A and B are shown apart, each in its own frame.
Chain A
Amino acid sequence: MTYVVIENCIRCKYQDCVEVCPVDCFYEGENMLVIHPDECIDCGVCEPECPAEAIRPDSEDGLESWVKLNAKFSEIWPNITAKGDAPLDADNWMDKHGKLSELSEAPGIGG
Chain B
Amino acid sequence: MNQVLTPKDFTTNQEVRWCPGCGDYAILKSVRSTLAKIGRPPHEVVFVSGIGCAARFPYYVDSYGFHTIHGRAPAVATGVKLANPDLDVWVVGGDGDFLSIGGNHLLHALRRNMDLNLLLLNNAIYGLTKGQYSPTSSVGTRSPSTPGGSVDRPVNAALMALGAGARFVARSADTLQDHLPEVLTRAQAHKGASLVEIFQNCIVYNDAVWAGMATKAESVDKTIRVADGEPLLFGKERDKGLVFDSNSGRMQLTEEGGDAEKLATIHDETNWALACALSRMDDSSLPTSLGVLYCDPVSDYGSDQEASNGFSTLSRDDLHGLLHDGGTWEVEG
Chain B hits for A23, CB < 8 A: 26, 175, 177
| Residues of A contacting B: mostly | loop
For the complex, is B229 an interface residue (Cβ under 8 Å from A)? no
- Decide: B21 and A39 in contact? CB cutoff 8 A: no
Number of A-B contacts (CB under 8 A): 38
- Decide: A42 and B177 in contact? CB cutoff 8 A: no
- Decide: B26 and A41 in contact? CB cutoff 8 A: yes
CA gap between A23 and B22 in the complex, in Å: 12
Chain A residue nearest to B214 (CB atoms) is: A22
- Decide: A41 and B216 in contact? CB cutoff 8 A: no
- Decide: B177 and A43 in contact? CB cutoff 8 A: no
B208 nearest CB across to chain A (Å): 11
Could you say which of A24, A39, A42, A47 contacts B16, with CB atoms under 8 Å apart? A42
Could you say which of B11, B21, B214 contacts A43, with CB atoms under 8 Å apart? B21
Chain B residue nearest to A47 (CB atoms) is: B20
Could you say which of A24, A43, A47, A48 contacts B22, with CB atoms under 8 Å apart? A43
CA gap between A14 and B174 in the complex, in Å: 27
CA gap between A43 and B22 in the complex, in Å: 6
Chain A hits for B203, CB < 8 A: 45
* CB-CB under 8 A for A39 and B25, given A22-B201, A24-B216, A47-B20: no
For the complex, is B96 an interface residue (Cβ under 8 Å from A)? no
- Decide: B25 and A43 in contact? CB cutoff 8 A: yes
Interface residues of B (CB under 8 A from A): 11, 16, 18, 20-23, 25-26, 28-29, 174-175, 177, 201, 203, 214-216
Interface residues of A (CB under 8 A from B): 1, 20, 22-24, 39, 41-45, 47-48
Using A22-B214, A42-B16, A44-B21 as known contacts, list a sample of 12 further A-B pairs with CB atoms less than 8 Å apart, ordered by residue number in A.
Answer: A22-B21, A22-B23, A22-B26, A22-B175, A24-B216, A41-B25, A41-B26, A41-B28, A43-B18, A43-B20, A43-B21, A48-B20
